[in-house]
Amino acid sequence: MNREEYQTIIRPFLSEKRFRHSVCVAEMAEHLAGKFGADVEKAWTAGILHDILKEKPPEDQLKMMDEFGIILTDEERPSQKLWHAILGAAYLERKLGISDREILDAIRYHTTARADMTLLEKVVFVADFISSDREFEGVEALRQAAETSLEQAVLLGTSMTIRDLAERHRTIHPDTIAAYNWSVLHAPAP
């Protein structure tokens, strides 16, 4: 499939705003892939598809998980924002025939990250954080980090998320903690 075909697939799933976000993430993923030597086409594709089910109502998402035999863990069940990544990857594989494991995993882990991510997983995780449509306190520091080190950007991103979730007494997914620990041990000093 070419880029136009992927855009045509994704368009009906998303609002104008979320579609624009997906284009921004695809473009940032392409940029980071070029910079750090990941597959540029896979990065763009994972970027455009990553939020495919983000706007499906929670009831619909639960039904689809049932159909796919996905059983949520105790940390995933109460955090609806985590569902679209797990389910999105399964949906793309089973309903839309996307079979590239690297692309599917980059989508699967785009929200939580995980320990020892592949280059493509890091590219997509960081691209989603710093795409040009994002505005949050600290985004500039993340953008700057990502210009030199993906691992440093993963460290900043996961520590920001963990701090934010802990302040609001939300559960923190074990993969997010594992990604944070991994990047503490592996990110080069800034």
Q: Which of 51, 102, 121, 151 binds ligand DGI (CB under 6 A)?
A: 51
Tokens of 95: 């309903």
128 binds Fe ion (CB under 5 A): yes
Q: Which candidate, 58, 68, 57, 111, places its Cα nearest to that of 90?
A: 68
Report the Cα 47 to chain-centroid distance in Å: 8
Question: With respect to ligand DGI, which residue has the nearer C-beta, 72 or 165?
Answer: 165
Q: Which of 13, 23, 49, 54 binds ligand DGI (CB under 6 A)?
A: 54
Q: How far is the CB of 182 from Fe ion (least distance, A)?
A: 20
Residues in the chain: 190
Residues 56-115 that bind ligand DGI (CB under 6 A): 79, 81-82, 85, 110-112
Q: Which candidate, 178, 161, 50, 29, places its Cα nearest to that of 114?
A: 178
Question: With respect to Fe ion, which residue has the nearer C-beta, 84 or 183?
Answer: 84
Q: How far is the CB of 129 from Fe ion (least distance, A)?
A: 9
Q: Which of 6, 49, 51, 112 binds Fe ion (CB under 5 A)?
A: 51
Question: With respect to Fe ion, which residue has the nearer C-beta, 128 or 151?
Answer: 128
For the four alpha carbons of 9, 45, 150 and 105, in that order, the dihedral sign comes to positive
Q: Which of 45, 61, 176, 183 binds ligand DGI (CB under 6 A)?
A: 176
Tokens of 21: 């976000």
170 binds ligand DGI (CB under 6 A): yes
Q: How far is the CB of 155 from Fe ion (least distance, A)?
A: 20
Report the Cα 113 to chain-centroid distance in Å: 7
State the alpha helices, DSSP H only, in the chain.
Answer: 3-10, 16-36, 40-49, 58-68, 83-94, 101-108, 119-130, 139-148, 150-167, 174-186
Residue ranges in contact with ligand DGI by CB under 6 A: 51, 54, 79, 81-82, 85, 110-112, 128, 161, 165, 170-173, 176
Residue ranges in contact with Fe ion by CB under 5 A: 51, 128
